[in-house]
Amino acid sequence: MLDPAFVMLCLVILAALLFDYINGFHDTANAIATSVSTRALSVKAAIILAATLNFAGAMAFTKVAKTIGTGIISAEHLTQMVVLAGVIGAITWNVITWYFGLPSSSSHAIVGGLVGAVIAHVGPSALLWSGLKKIIMALVLSPILVIAGFIFVVIFSRILQFRSPAGVNRGFRKMQILSAAFMAFSHGTADAQKSMGVITMALLSYGAIPTFEVPMWVKFTCALAMAIGTAAGGWRIIKTVGRDFVKLQPMTGFSVDSASTCVILGASMLGLPTSTTHVVTSSILGVGLSKSLNAVNWNVAKRIVTAWVLTIPAAALVAYLVYQVGSPLLGK
């Protein structure tokens, strides 16, 4: 007869990989929306590029995984059911926002899910408030890219003000392929790390590993799940981010990717779990504001901000309910 604890471990791993897969097609738009909207790349070419470099980025760092795995829940209250309920809460919210084409944050979703699950388990005393504060501050501050996107466009516009628009667009369309590649790589360094952290938490709770160190097979499977999910695409969100929100040209698309990549890569190296969704959409907003207030589709902006505000509490609520229903059936 199978060990119930081992069965729970397997369920957690499968759920975490499913979250990674969904994260891949949910957040594909972050890496490629700008290059698709400006026709620097076809949808097919952009998705292949994003999938490949998402995989490479996911294999490059593990600091964010450690932050997620050790900075939210105290070790003595870490159980398989808590982790499973947290991941299911995050998955549920990601699917809902994908269905409506809203670029919500998978980072916020997994943090909210884990918080809701552990509160259902023992209450808020199990939360590591110092680590949680650090994580939430990193997620909240990422929208400063409104300023960065604005600055990038202003600088390029001043430098190139005497060049023909057609020539500028041709040059930046080529440069966008490179910026999209870096954006996809940085997305991998940030987003696949969440599932790595979750699986390693589960392995530590089960006793399969002595300390919180991400095993190579975990890195590889999470990177692969993210890459496969990215390859599945995410046209609903690509359309919202790249076409409906702000109309982009090659120069502004390059500005968005460049500004976003700098912040995401820097945060990943420091182990800070930024939201690639918040970073990219904030940068796009800054680009739109550099033109005029009317360049931004404020109805779309309102929908995006609503999804941002609701993500942590919504994922937490779902995880709380999943734990309450699942713990009597599967054990705590």
- Residues 311, 105 contacting (CB under 8 angstroms): yes
Answer with the residue of higher pLDDT: 223 or 190: 223
Distance (Å, whole) CA 200 – CA 65: 8
Instruction: Look at residue 14 in the predicted model and tell me its pLDDT.
Output: 94
Segment 165-174, tens digit of pLDDT? 677 778 888 8
Distance (Å, whole) CA 21 – CA 33: 18
Which residues, including other chains, have CB under 8 Å from residue 83's CB and lie 6 or more apart? 12, 114, 117, 198, 201, 202, 205
Instruction: Look at residue 17 in the predicted model and tell me its pLDDT.
Output: 93
Segment 3-54, tens digit of pLDDT? 888 888 999 999 999 998 888 877 666 667 777 777 788 878 888 888 888 8
189-212 average pLDDT score: 86
148: exposed, middle or buried (Cβ count in 10 Å: 0-12, 13-18, 19+): buried
Which of 6, 4, 12, 7 is CA-nearest to residue 199? 12
Instruction: Indicate the pTM of the whole model.
Output: 0.81
Which of 32, 51, 328 is CA-nearest to residue 188? 51
Answer with the residue of higher pLDDT: 95 or 156: 95
Q: Does 232 have pLDDT greater than 80?
A: no
Instruction: Look at residue 131 in the predicted model and tell me its pLDDT.
Output: 79
Segment 307-318, tens digit of pLDDT? 778 888 999 999
CA torsion through residues 187, 90, 273, 139, sign: positive
Q: Could you give the C-alpha distances from 214 to 67, 193, 202, 205, in angstroms and in order?
A: 12, 10, 11, 13
Token pair belonging to 233:
């695409």
Instruction: Look at residue 158 in the predicted model and tell me its pLDDT.
Output: 72
Distance (Å, whole) CA 194 – CA 189: 10
Segment 234-245, tens digit of pLDDT? 656 666 655 566
How would residue 321 be classed by pLDDT, with cut points 50, 70 and 90? very high
132-137 average pLDDT score: 77
Q: Does 250 have pLDDT greater than 70?
A: yes
Segment 82-104, tens digit of pLDDT? 989 999 999 999 888 878 777 67
How would residue 320 be classed by pLDDT, with cut points 50, 70 and 90? very high
Query: What angle, 0 to 180 degrees and rounded to 10, lies between the N-to-C axes of helices 276-291 and 145-159?
Result: 40
